[in-house]
Structure 1
């Protein structure tokens, strides 16, 4: 093959261009610290880089959402911790107020502290994070509890935020689930949420007994009364239900090894039956309540445990000289908790159809739904139970103060459950944050492998290319100085 000068020239120029390109590319990668600066550098790698970048950006959004969610849930967790402290103190005050050695004036002083606890609970319900109320559902711009009426005025929606592609988590627990509730109708009285004490001491002595008037039993869910028209218009008159007389054997609980038998005389009035039961000290207390109205009275005996809280364990067995048939006569006073629906063994029942003061009402259409003594509301709402305790202390009603202890325990259990829910959400946030953080680190590694320049390697390569270019320049300069005449001579 014939080698010409032009071939030398072209080769020198080509090699010089390649070295210059190498130097330019190395310099660019060193200055940008990226080995791919345009799609044409490596289309496949650029596609991966775009995918990694998009995923890392999404992870950043999820991590910011997790941080925001933790702020709300940490505030809720702290609120529930403070609420537990309030309920613990309320229980201590209730125990103090329920003792027989505490007088009425002392109970008034205790009621004042309970009032302060009530105000603190309202403040907790109206907790804000930034400019948002954490217990208001979607209506996070308004306080969930009306400080004047105690009513829940927000909504019960759960505000959720995405913390991954497939996971959403609630930021809030609406106050209507725990602190208070809404009136059913806007026309309902404003004091329906925190009703007034509804047993009126309207006379010095009980009109039935002539004795000083006392509040009826404070344990409405556990009251027993005669079913199926067992009431009478005059509790002092002869009662056809006791025509033949007989015995009532009363036990309270399976561990009661000393049942008490009470003899009911033939023809005893409802008052006589009540007095005989109360005189026997059988672990129960009998009251006579008018289920009807003043113009159409319907008096019945209501029996509850004494002290309150064990009425579901009462068992009353009837023994009559002459049987009047199933459900008749003295049998109307029989009760067995294992056979509450048996018409023979359980003619008294553990409920209170239509009696204010003896209700566990969940039906909002019932006119007694808002009753001061409605167990359902008292044991499910923090503000309601604190109000119940405060008013019971003010009214010196030991029975209802004792009942408030039961309410506080049940509300406290709800608080613990809600706090556990918040704790579970916080744990989920921590787990998801760690997962997203690890995933982000992995993606950053993959991105670095495809995108980041190897600076030491490029520096070496740049030095080599510069040396080669310089050598090529010197050689080409010396060679290309020769001319045709140099070859002729």
Structure 2
């Protein structure tokens, strides 16, 4: 075979390029200390590295979420610790004011600090983290609480029987007494509110004003107190007890305190969830939901091939993602309840259907269960979420208007009053006003109501009322401590999750390193060897390329 110069040259160039390419690859690996710098270096290895990097990015997001959650929960923990400190101070002041060794002047002096403490509590209930309110549910851009005026009475019949709306505001407690101006009703006897006269004090009972009046138009009445800056609308007539016209200190009649409180204006998670009905004939059905639905809407669909009554077997499906995916094959067994049916859905929730004109269910009817949601949650591991915020009314209490009441008004503006709002932690059967009766104390763990009453009783020199508030302060403090324990538990979960995520991150980095990183000592050896190979190729090529026929002629 004849070997031409061109063949030799081509082979030399190929060998040079191959050696140089290998040397450059090793140089690149030496610079990056990575075995894999491009997919062609190790396609399988590169695929594994990319998978691990995706996992690392997820772990980094978990770390960021944990850091954010620490900020939220740390702010909540700190604010509640300050609240606990304020309650401790309020108990000290209440203990002083509840004793018989202090007089009205002393209680007045104590009341100044108590009102300041009340205002501090409102400020702490509106605590923020990164300009987001932490106690208002999803409504993070606004305040959780606002100061309002509410009522307390020493007459439980009056406090339970009449709805009211307090208008205006006052920097001091307004003490109101109802009196008979006709002189025909004995002290302590009943009379109608619409026929009563009124006297009131804005300086704790030191002086009494008589320029107030009660006027009724039909069933609607207004208590006007011109010098106080407040008035009260009553939405029906009521029975009150006559006070001694000559001695305001005698408590045989009906007294009323117009005093500070706070209204919660955030979200809640109260039961039951709302249920929307869709499909033919649903107007003749009633639907209610109970149990646990977490924070997501659940859609329930009737799947029978034809109409069925509620005592027959009902086939149904439910969806947790708005109808994209359905959990099918659910069956409510036939029973003897002809006018109601109970369907179980995910997470322990129950949908109860009842007749409201018909007991038939039609194929395709849908019921959308909308649980109230206030939690802001973040993923802290692949299988765990944590709640950042809290529902303020479930911690501090206050006065709350149910959002269903707002919806039922059809967009009309509502003025806060006892007909559309109530005291948190007090059942629907409880008096609409706070009650203060000697020997029959009203239990309350509603911090803002307890503190509001404490301010009122200190400002009006009411030793019995202060004693009642002192007992209730301990109940409210227990509620705050429970909230602190809940937040502390979440913080402990964060610490554990952070340790887990850090361990997973270390493991993933080790796996990536094992695949991707080069062995430096081995790499240096290969690089030295390749340099020798390249230099040998250059030297041998140079020697052979110098040989030609002319040198042998």
TM-based fold match above 0.5: yes
Counterpart pick for 1:181 among 392, 399, 406: 399
Which residue is equivalent to 2:141? 141
CA distance in 2, matches of 1:138, 1:361: 21
Structure with bigger helix share is 1
Residue 129 in structure 1 maps to residue 129 in structure 2: yes
Check conservation: 1:361, 1:376, Cα contact below 8 A. Answer: no
Greater strand share, structure number: 2
Aligned counterparts of 1:81 and 1:108: Cα–Cα separation in 2: 28
CA distance in 2, matches of 1:159, 1:122: 22
Task: Report the Cα distance in structure 1 between the residues aligned to 2:513 and 2:78, rounded to whole angstroms.
Answer: 42
CA distance in 2, matches of 1:158, 1:20: 62
How far off its partner does 1:143 sit? Answer: 0.3
Distance in 1 between the 2:494 and 2:100 partners? 50
Match of 2:94 in 1: 94
Query: Which residue pairs with 1:371 in the alignment?
Result: 434
Determine the structure 2 residue equivalent to 1:160: 377
Residue 68 of structure 1: aligned partner: 68
String of CA shifts for 1:243-282, please: whole Å, max 9, x gaps. xxxxxxxxxxxxxxxxxxxxxxxxxxxxxxxxxxxxxxxx
Contact 2:445 2:473 survives alignment (8 Å): no
Q: Is residue 473 from structure 1 mapped to residue 538 from structure 2 by the alignment? A: yes
Deviations 1:189-218, CA, capped at 9 Å, x for gaps: 3899899xxxxxxxxxxxxxxxxxxxxxxx
Q: Which residue of 2 aligns with 1:151?
A: 263
* Corresponding position: 1:415 with 2:527: no
Question: Structure 1 pair 192/485, CA: closer, same or farther in 2 (3 Å)?
Answer: closer
**What is the Cα deviation at residue 458 of structure 1?**
3.0
1:231-242 aligned within 5 A = none
The size of the alignment, in residue pairs, is: 322
1:390-429 alignment to 2 at 5 Å? 390-429=455-494
Counterpart Cα distance in 1 of 2:2 and 2:399? 101
- Displacement after TM superposition at 1:96 (Å): 0.8
Q: Provide Cα deviations, 1:143-179, integer angstroms capped at 9, x if missing partner.
A: 0111344100111212111112211111111211122
Give the 5 Å matches for 1:262-281. Answer: none
1:4 Cα offset (Å) = 6.5
Unaligned regions of 5+ residues in structure 2, if any? 150-261, 269-373, 406-413
The answer to whether the 8 A contact 2:425-2:446 is kept is no
- Following superposition, the deviation at residue 123 of structure 1 comes to 0.5
User: Structure 1's 153 and 420: CA in aligned 2 closer, same or farther, altered over 3 A?
Assistant: same
Is 1:451 matched with 2:536? no
Offset of 1:407 from its aligned partner? Answer: 0.7
Deviation at 1:399, TM superposition (A): 2.4
Equivalent residue number for residue 169 of structure 1: 386
On the 8 A contact 2:425/2:444 being kept in 1, the answer is: no
| Closer, same or farther: CA 47–55 of 1 in aligned 2, 3 Å | same
Query: Any conservation in 2 of the 1:362–1:376 contact (CA below 8 Å)?
Result: no
Residues 425 and 445, structure 2, Cα contact 8 Å, conserved in 1: no
Name 1:281's counterpart in structure 2: none
TM-score, normalised to structure 1, is 0.60
* Whole-angstrom distance in 1 between the partners of 2:436 and 2:39: 76
Instruction: Check the 8 A contact 1:151/1:182 in 2, yes or no.
Output: yes
1:444 Cα deviation (Å)? 1.3
1:385 match: secondary structure: helix
CA RMSD of superposed structures (Å): 3.1
Instruction: Give the 5 Å matches for 1:382-393.
Output: 382-393=447-458
- Give the superposition deviation at 1:59: 0.9
SS at match of 1:169: strand
Tell me the TM-score normalized by structure 2: 0.53
Cα pair distance change 1:146/1:123, threshold 3 Å: same
Which residue of structure 1 lines up, in the alignment, with residue 35 of structure 2?
35
SS in 1 for 2:76: helix
Name which of structure 1's ranges 438-447 and 76-85 shifts more when overlaid on structure 2: 438-447
SS at structure 2 position matched to 1:26: helix
Distance in 2 between residues matched to 1:388 and 1:194, nearest whole Å: 16
Distance 2:112 2:76 in 1: 27
2:59 alignment partner in structure 1: 59
Shift of 1:187: 4.8
Q: Distance in 1 between matches of 2:497 and 2:145?
A: 33
Which residue matches 2:316?
none
How far apart, CA to CA, are the structure 1 residues paired with 2:14 and 2:132? 69
Q: Secondary structure at the match of 1:146?
A: strand
- Decide which moves more: 6-15 or 435-444: 6-15
Q: Assess, with a 3 A threshold, how the Cα gap between structure 1 residues 15 and 121 changes in structure 2: closer, same or farther.
A: same
Match for residue 340 of structure 1?
none
Contact 2:73 2:491 in 1 (8 A): yes
Greater Cα radius of gyration, structure 1 or 2: 1
Structure 1's unaligned 5+ residue stretches are 196-359
SS at the partner of 1:162? strand
